[in-house]
Amino acid sequence: MIAATVDRSALETKVKQMYHDVAVNPHGDFHFEMGRAMAERLGYASEDLDRIPVEAIESFAGVGHFFHLANLRPGERVVDLGSGSGMDTFVASLKVGASGRIVGVDMTDAQLEKAERLARSGRFDNVAYRKAYIEDTGLDAGVCDCVISNGVINLAPDKDRVFREAARLLVSGGRLAIADIVADVALPENVVCNPDLWAACIGGAAQHDDYRAAIERAGLRVEVVEDNRHYQFISERAKRATARFGVKSVSILARKP
Ligand SMILES: C[S@@+](CC[C@H](N)C(=O)[O-])C[C@H]1O[C@@H](n2cnc3c(N)ncnc32)[C@H](O)[C@@H]1O
């Protein structure tokens, strides 16, 4: 599942660069679409989007919708792995209410700074952020009822580690509700080792059965897998790779027994 020749440190640098730009210059040139029109197409409710900061929506770089699978209830505790500029933390905040709690985890300073600023100015008092890797969040075991993540785990070279960490964070009976990029076939080395395609959420896409198996190896039971047919890459290079290898977005619900 991990390409032997992948240069992890170069990938991390590239991913941080790209998502720094997503935070500070969301109207720049990217391989992927961002913003409200895409969020609505993916399934986000306009009533929810109307109640969260516009700047978070502009920098929304997720790949699907999973809140219908997460089914968050008032008072629940949520961890968002790779929270970016915070859009899903704010949507989760609306769903769990004042008695609930959300922690967003991300490694990119500009994303964390933007999400923190927007949470403060929007009075999202039940949301906090933490600078950490999603593979090792430093949070306590059993800290949440639901782990969410949108367009992030494909960026991790070791997906088993991420799913083990998600399983560790969940209480028994807790849910993992995510959207991510997977592929029909194992991607060739020249795609995997291209830092630009990796940071664009293509190069790190696992073959979909391998991805599901990694979730289950972590001790979580996959209950639902849905295709997000409305997600599309926009650059020509990304579209070519997508068509050739069946790269696509899926939403997944899994449960810790
Ligand atoms: C495609 S963006 C998605 C952000 C957010 N979920 C959204 O929907 O807008 C990926 C985010 O994951 C973060 N990220 C990628 N790999 C990470 C890792 N190993 N640990 C922590 N954060 C990571 C990046 O900094 C970036 O903010």
Q: Which DSSP state fits 29?
A: -
Which of 2, 15, 131, 163 best tests ligand 1's pocket when mutated (most atoms within 8 Å of CB)? 15
Count the Cβ atoms, other than its own, within 10 Å of residue 54: 11
Spatial distance between the Cα atoms of 43 and 30, rounded to a whole number of angstroms:
22
List the domains of the chain with CATH numbers.
8-255 (3.40.50.150)
- The secondary structure of 39-62 as a DSSP string is HHHHT--HHHHTTS-HHHHHT---
Per-residue pLDDT at 96: 98
Distance CA 226, CA 65 (A): 10
C-beta pairs of 70-73 under 8 Å, 24+ apart in sequence: 70/95, 70/146, 70/148, 70/175, 70/177, 70/253, 71/175, 72/96, 72/100, 72/146
Q: Which pLDDT score is estimated for 180?
A: 97
Q: How many CB atoms lie within 10 A of CB 50?
A: 10
Where do we find the tokens 């502009």?
58
Query: pLDDT by residue for the chain (257 residues), tens digit each?
Result: 555 567 889 899 999 999 999 999 999 988 888 999 999 999 999 999 999 999 999 999 999 999 999 999 999 999 999 999 999 999 999 999 999 999 999 999 999 999 999 999 999 999 999 999 999 999 999 999 999 999 999 999 999 999 999 999 999 999 999 999 999 999 988 888 888 888 888 889 999 999 999 999 999 999 999 999 989 888 888 888 888 999 999 999 999 99
- What is residue 5's predicted lDDT score, i.e. its pLDDT? 64
pLDDT given at position 183: 95
Which residue is associated with the tokens 């291209």? 194
Closest CA to ligand 1's atom 14: 82
- 15 CB burial (10 A radius; 0-12, 13-18, 19+): buried
Top mutation candidate among 155, 161, 181 for ligand 1, by most atoms within 8 Å of CB = 155
What pLDDT score does 51 carry?
Answer: 98
- Residue 4: its pLDDT value, please? 52
Residue 150 backbone dihedrals phi, psi, to 5 degrees: -135, 105
Pocket of ligand 1 (CB under 6 A): 15, 19, 60-62, 82-84, 87-88, 106-108, 111, 133-135, 150-152, 155-156, 201
Nearest to 223 by CA among 252, 181, 257, 180: 252
C-alpha closest to that of 80 among 177, 209, 5: 177
Give the separation between CA 37 and CA 212, rounded to whole angstroms.
29
Distance 82 CA to ligand 1 centre (A): 4
Q: For residues 145 and 175, what is the distance between their CA atoms, to the nearest angstrom? A: 6
The DSSP call for residue 224 is: E
Nearest to 174 by CA among 93, 85, 253, 80: 253
Q: pTM surpassing 0.95?
A: yes
Best CA proximity match to 191, nearest among 11, 28, 9: 11
- As given in the structure block, the two tokens for residue 66 are 């999973």
Q: Give residue 7's pLDDT.
A: 84
